[in-house]
Amino acid sequence: MSVPAHIKWTYLPQGDRSLLIRFSDHEVIEQEIGQLCVQAAQALRDSALPGVVDIVPSFNAVVVHHLPGELSQAALQTHIEQVLLHVFSKTANLPTPRIVDIPVCYGQEWGPDLEDLAQLLSVSQERVIQLHSQKPLLVFMVGFAPGAPYMGIHEPELDVPRRATPRTHIAAGSVAIANRQSIIYPNISPGGWHVIGRTPLTLFQPGQTPPTLLGPGDQVRFVPISPEQFQNWPAPT
């Protein structure tokens, strides 16, 4: 079974219940590494490894959580290695990513940082919106709050740091950017990213299956909508 030479991974035990599979030690977020993590996590889920209770992808690694009594970590690593060798072989059939359109009302009360951000970048607000919505973004991981997706990577023109002063209150559905990434706040929370718009969609509904609107590996397309469309958007069922 042949695996492309540029695809490499290492293992690092995290106590007796978790095994970290690292695909890169770089601090810079890379699209290809994120896709490798997503593919690995999905393949490991599909393989239904004995004793595994959760599999969590991130920007550059995948954590496999397991029960300590089912398999030794050495045996588990052997199973994982077989799965990864298959999924990253030149003959493996990789699934087509799901594309999800996310409507966004940009600026004004829905995106209070859009005007300042445009000035910071020395472009128009319309240009910021164009850059933000011009291409699909990969969902690398679901992060700090239930259903909160980390998406990227934006063009270098949208490379801005986090806000100097975080907010203590950000509205649910707020779409924000920092470090060439976007995030959507699924509920009211504090946050330090630049809020440029808001979606009327609900990202987390615990009573549904799955409870999150977006998951790792999805491709998100931001679609600009008017304030009228936002206000008249149907409520979630």
Question: What is the pLDDT, as a whole number, of residue 116?
Answer: 95
Say if 5 falls within a structural domain: no
Residue 45 has pLDDT above 90, yes or no: yes
Q: Which of 23, 27, 21 is nearest to 35 (CA)?
A: 23
Phi-psi region of 108 (alpha: psi -120 to 50; beta: other; left: phi over 0): left
- The whole-chain average pLDDT of the chain stands at 92
Say if 226 falls within a structural domain: yes
28 and 52 in a single domain? The answer is: yes
68 and 15 in a single domain? The answer is: yes
116 and 206 in a single domain? The answer is: yes
Q: How confident is the model at residue 127 (pLDDT cuts 50, 70, 90)?
A: very high
Range of the domain at 49: 10-87
Question: What is the pLDDT, as a whole number, of residue 25?
Answer: 85
Residue ending a domain, choose from 54, 87, 120: 87
105 and 24 in a single domain? The answer is: no
Say if 3 falls within a structural domain: no
| pLDDT tens sequence across 53-103 | 999 999 999 999 999 877 888 889 999 999 999 888 866 666 788 999 999
74 and 122 in a single domain? The answer is: no
Question: What is the pLDDT, as a whole number, of residue 119?
Answer: 95
> For residues 106 and 196, is the Cβ–Cβ distance under 8 A?
yes
CB-count exposure of residue 90 (10 Å: 0-12, 13-18, 19+): exposed
Q: What is the mean pLDDT of residues 40-57?
A: 93
How many independent structural domains does the chain possess? 2
Residue 1 has pLDDT above 60, yes or no: no
Q: How confident is the model at residue 50 (pLDDT cuts 50, 70, 90)?
A: confident
- Gap between the Cα atoms of 94 and 171, Å rounded: 37
Residue 2 has pLDDT above 70, yes or no: no
